[in-house]
Amino acid sequence: MTESSGTVFTVSQINGYVKMLVDSDMNLSDVSVRGEISNFTNHYRTGHLYFTLKDGESLIKAVMFRSSAAGLKFVPENGMKVVVRGRVSVFVRDGVYQLYAERMEPDGVGSLYAAFEALRRKLEEEGLFDQERKRKIPEFPRTVGVITSPTGAAVRDILNILGRRYPAAKVEICPAAVQGVNAPAELISALRAMNSRSCADVLIIGRGGGSIEDLWAFNDESLAREVAASRIPVISAVGHETDFTICDFAADLRAPTPSAAAELAVPDASELRDRINAAASRMSGIMTGTVGAQREKLRMLAGSRVLSSPEWITDDRRMSVLSISVEMEKALTQSYSSRRTSLGAISGKLEALSPLSVLSRGFIAVYGEGKKIRKRAAELNDGENVEMVFSDGSASARITGINVSPEVSDGREKQRE
């Protein structure tokens, strides 16, 4: 493009020319820029990150495409100070120049800590660190899995303590890088391999001490999720006692050091031996006491009168039976006498009420026609045939005359009228 007073350019031509100039400048093709993130946007559908880098006086727009954003070891957020490496170019459509980020790192330890806190809060809010989801470490593991560097001091400490404390446990080592860009992926791969093979009852994952940058692989979000999803209980042992990583929070148990993790993973054989000996001693004492008590009880029973003179108990029982028999006979006699007296009284009452008893005193019973008893003279009819019953028999008669008291006679006359 050359200068000419008669030439008219389009906006796209101007922007394209500026882009060519910027892209041809080698100083802008690979630059590192320090600044504070603002206007951060995570385009979740595409995976691209859009943000602005600023310092105290100016700002520059920036974009990180999904292919580069996938390699981030932390979660960017507004206010975080970072160092971004990439190239400067022009976006022709908008006519603006911007930084195309390829790598991003927190700026200094303070920024790393901010990134750590941001990820910790995010996963904590998701419930990834909840105590309810953590699994119990087995008390007597048969196999202990160890995920760490095969050449570091941590693995030697772990093997030494496991062999000394609990020689009965087997140790399965799955080597992985514990520092650097590839460390999170290797640690994740080792975790998956251990779970797929189900070759351990408990896992120890970690490394020895170092700077925050050295331990940063254990702050990887994907690794934390893999640790939380492990079917095998996980003990995290990263760095020294004062070092904390995201992996520690996601694990089922956090150990301050790799050596401490080995101690937490298995019981102490010498302590177990002491416990077993103490239990055996207690059981022996209990058995000795029980056998002695039962032997004394048997001795007392063997010397008792019942076993030495069996007739004693039979004589005693016989006397009891005789006593009961006498009591029963006495009770039956009293009951019979009482019943007989009661029956006599009832018999006397019945005898007094008997018609025969009345007849024996000189009275007779008169039955008219139809065998109906005639209680009063007024019930008889002149010329009626009747039967008279005495105490010793009966006789037949005809009524030839009826004498009724005047009151009864008047009553009969009135009844007839």
Same domain, 88 and 179: no
Same domain, 244 and 348: no
Same domain, 155 and 262: yes
- For residues 220 and 184, what is the distance between their CA atoms, to the nearest angstrom? 6
Confidence of residue 110 (pLDDT cuts 50, 70, 90): low
Residue 279 is assigned to a structural domain of this protein: no
Confidence of residue 45 (pLDDT cuts 50, 70, 90): confident
Same domain, 404 and 332: no
Residue 300 falls in which region: left (phi positive, over 0), alpha (psi -120 to 50) or beta: alpha
pTM, full prediction: 0.49
The SS3 of residue 221 is: helix
Residue 280 is assigned to a structural domain of this protein: no
Alpha carbon of 56 to those of 35, 59, 267: distances in Å?
A: 9, 9, 58
Q: What is the mean pLDDT of residues 208-218?
A: 86
Residues 139-198: pLDDT tens digits? 999 999 999 999 988 999 999 999 999 999 999 999 999 998 899 999 999 999 999 999
Domain-ending residue, one of 82, 97, 122: 122
Task: Report the run of H or E that residue 148 belongs to, with start and end.
Answer: strand 143-148
Expressed as residue numbers, the domain containing 221 is 137-270
Domain-ending residue, one of 122, 152, 182: 122
**Angle at which helices 221-229 and 183-197 cross, to 10°:** 10
Same domain, 101 and 151: no
Q: Residues 123, 116: contact at Cβ < 8 Å?
A: no
Same domain, 242 and 297: no
Residues 359-393: pLDDT tens digits? 666 677 778 877 788 877 777 877 788 887 777 78
Task: Give the pLDDT confidence score for residue 321 in this predicted structure.
Answer: 84
Please tell me which residue, 301 or 85, carries the higher pLDDT value.
Answer: 85
Residues 55-86: pLDDT tens digits? 888 999 999 999 999 888 777 888 888 899 99
The SS3 of residue 223 is: helix
Residues 182-202: pLDDT tens digits? 999 999 999 999 999 999 999
Please tell me which residue, 305 or 58, carries the higher pLDDT value.
Answer: 58
Same domain, 203 and 233: yes
- The whole-angstrom distance between residue 387's C-alpha and the CA centroid of its chain comes to 101
- For residues 103 and 116, what is the distance between their CA atoms, to the nearest angstrom? 18
Same domain, 384 and 339: no
Q: What is the mean pLDDT of residues 227-256?
A: 93
Same domain, 40 and 110: yes
Residue 276 is assigned to a structural domain of this protein: no
> Rg of the chain's alpha carbons, rounded to an integer?
59
Please tell me which residue, 238 or 6, carries the higher pLDDT value.
Answer: 238
Alpha carbon of 369 to those of 81, 122, 387: distances in Å?
A: 141, 123, 9
Q: Which amino acid is at 145?
A: G
Same domain, 147 and 170: yes
Number of domains observed in the structure of the chain? 4
Q: Is pLDDT above 90 for 227?
A: yes
| Cβ-based neighbour number of residue 274 at 10 Å | 11
